[in-house]
Amino acid sequence: MQQHLSNELLIALAKEYGTPLYVYDADHITAQYKRLTSAFASTDTHFFYACKALTNVNILKHIKSIGCNVDCSSINEVKLALLAGFDPKNVLYTSNGIHFSEIEEAQSLGVNINIDSLSNLEKFGQQFQHSYPVGIRLRPNIMAGGNIKISTGHDKSKFGIPVDQLDKILALVNEHNIWIQNLHIHTGSDIKDVDVFVKGIEVLFDIIPHFKELTSIDLGGGFKVPYKKGDAETDIPLLAQKVSEAFANHPNPNGKPLQVWFEPGKFLVSASGYLITAVNVLKENNGTTFAGVNSGFNHLIRPMFYDAYHQIENLSNPTGEEKLYSVVGNICETDTFAWDRKIHAIREGDLLVFYNTGAYGFEMSSNFNSRYKPAEVMVKDGQATLIRKRDTFDDILRNQVL
Ligand code: LLP
């Protein structure tokens, strides 16, 4: 939530590259990764960045350079990770509802795979038997996460194989002699209560004894980040302590120490990101003013899709008198970023910045209304680099058959 890059730098970047513009602070990503590794220093814990949050290859290269692994949610993300230079053994593909051909492709690329359906597990067993280690994505029947759209582990969720179908899993594993190396759960995003992760470990401890070749358990991602003042964040040192206590209380029945894996997305990149927009128009409306910016939910969908809060600051008039504004986009349907928000006096032409937009910001953007996707800039060691050009009209036409 708090700002790490100066207003002067953000204004200079907006001048140089135009708006709307995404800017990412690579050093903040490094700092967040260090917070995780130092909290978990005493346990054998490995982090796989859930790159669905932000996949720009330059960000992936940075993630690799700091020693973090990567978790992917499609075969194309796997290919991006390999392109960024990751060793396949540091790449994880946590699948969900995919055709078996993607699992075959992931296997041929040599990456770790979490399988999330009985039918793909059976096909995997028939084809590979004991020749390739694999993980199983389980649904632990735990309700967690900031809202229902981002809850994935509850008992109505499509994700993973329900834990109550363990008998079916074991029948397939035994029939085909499948080499199970990892058990995965991911219960949701924006999880502030560390006990959710402990509950997940407890569900897994009942199951672990059935898998004699297990080397890791994978607790997914979902660490909550603060979006506004006073917002809670997942207490990472407390989580580390509780994970280590849970293991101390349940020594691994297979006699071998298990690695613990996590797949953080938001925690690593959310606060690194800034979306800078320019104000096109002001409209008075019974006490509040609409500030219409040159962006919309085509560039940042989280407020409209999840009612998410993103702090907004006036970069070019940071000390102006505060007033109430509804900050809206230029899309042809309601696309409100903030309702009746106190912001320093806004004038047409001012630059407004949206904080915490590194995760699921650019990544969920679109060309709706045939508008261009923004450019992206990465700042590292004080050096700004353009890492994606703004779309042009050719991008709108690309793939259209004229
Ligand atoms: N692992 C798996 C298997 C996941 O499905 C996800 C996120 C993560 C890890 C990373 O979760 P994170 O640490 O970023 O919370 N677009 C939504 C969030 C959707 C998350 C989907 N899966 C948002 O903007 O709030």
Compute, in angstroms, the gap from residue 264 CA to the centroid of ligand 1: 8
- What's the rounded Cα separation, in Å, for the pair 240 and 44? 11
Per-residue model confidence (pLDDT) at position 128: 98
- What's the rounded Cα separation, in Å, for the pair 354 and 312? 5
Tell me the domains of the chain and their CATH numbers.
40-264 (3.20.20.10), 270-397 (2.40.37.10)
Residue 277: partners with Cβ closer than 8 Å, 6 or more residues away:
19, 20, 293, 294, 295, 299, 351, 352, 353, 354
Q: 175 to each of 121, 184, 199, 370, how far by Cα in Å? A: 11, 21, 30, 52
Point out the residues that are catalytic.
332
Compute, in angstroms, the gap from residue 12 CA to the centroid of ligand 1: 32
User: What backbone torsions phi and psi does residue 240 show, to the nearest 5 degrees?
Assistant: -60, -40
Per-residue model confidence (pLDDT) at position 21: 98
| Closest atom of ligand 1 to CA, residue 364 | 16
User: Does 77 score more than 70 pLDDT?
Assistant: yes
| Residue among 150, 159, 189, 272 to mutate when testing ligand 1 (max atoms within 8 A of CB) | 189
Largest CA distance in the chain: 71
Residue minimizing CA distance to atom 24 of ligand 1: 360
User: Does 157 score more than 90 pLDDT?
Assistant: no
Compute, in angstroms, the gap from residue 311 CA to the centroid of ligand 1: 20
Residue minimizing CA distance to atom 5 of ligand 1: 186
What percentage of the chain carries pLDDT values higher than 90? 88
Per-residue pLDDT tens digits for 23-43: 999 999 999 999 999 999 999
Compute, in angstroms, the gap from residue 305 CA to the centroid of ligand 1: 14
Q: What is the mean pLDDT of the chain?
A: 95
Ligand 1, residues at Cβ distance < 6 Å: 50, 53, 71, 94, 150, 152, 186, 189, 220-223, 263-267, 302, 306, 359-360
Please state the rounded mean pLDDT for residues 261-281.
98
Residue with tokens 């967690």: 144
Which residues are 23's β-sheet partners? 274, 377
User: Do residues 358 and 271 touch, judged by C-beta distance below 8 A?
Assistant: yes
